[in-house]
Amino acid sequence: MAALPWQALFHALAADPASYQREHPHVRGVALAGSFHQPLLPPASVHLATSAMSLHWLSAVPCVPQGLRVYSALLPADRDRFLAQQLADWSGLPRPV
């Protein structure tokens, strides 16, 4: 079985002499699978987090786009439906404690 890119990243974080974890052992790199619309970790257990993938996921597809399926090229009515879904999702995300 081929190694996943995440496996290489976590191996480097643990083994690389230049890894930031050498100076900051309390800092962890993690990969979590789950919904972006529900908590993944217990309250007050994360001080800082970032995600390179979360901004483009919606909790539901608001409509089947007509024409091109690129957000910037959507028809105005479809774009409005996607924007409304994005706003609903953002307002429902857990807030930092």
d(CA 89, CA 59): 7
Domain residues of the chain, as ranges? 1-31, 41-97
pTM above 0.75, yes or no: no
Summarize pLDDT for 20-60 with one digit per residue, the tens.
Answer: 888 888 887 887 777 767 788 888 888 877 766 655 678 88
- What does the block give as tokens for 90? 């953002």
| Phi, then psi, of 74 in degrees rounded to 5 | -65, 150
